Amino acid sequence: MHIVYKADNLFDAHLVKHALEDAGIPAFVFGESLLGGMGELPLFGVLRVGIPDAARAQAEDIVAALDLGHAADAPISDADDIAGLPA
């Protein structure tokens, strides 16, 4: 089993999983059941998408094509406008 993607959130993990499965590569999301274990506190670094070792090269190309780049490191602040609504 090879970890092909480390996800920041459940949506990205499942997006990668389904893209891999659409290409015929079996994929599994590790750590999904741990998300509720910390209550309402965020738990980072536990979501990983695993694939069989034999599909590594093809899977890495698929994940790269998804372009799941990370957002800016700065957190959202109260001063940020959301769709023109007052902060």
Distances (CA, A) of 26 to 3, 15, 17, 51, 53: 12, 13, 8, 6, 11
Number of C-beta neighbours around residue 26 at 10 A: 11
pLDDT tens-digit readout, 43-65:
667 889 999 999 999 999 999 99
Q: Is 44 helix (H, G, I), strand (E, B) or coil?
A: coil
**Residue 33, pLDDT above cutoff 50:** yes
**Residue 87, pLDDT above cutoff 50:** no
Higher-pLDDT residue of 78, 64: 64
Q: How far apart are CA 16 and CA 33, in angstroms?
A: 17
Helix axes 10-22, 56-66, angle to 10 degrees: 130
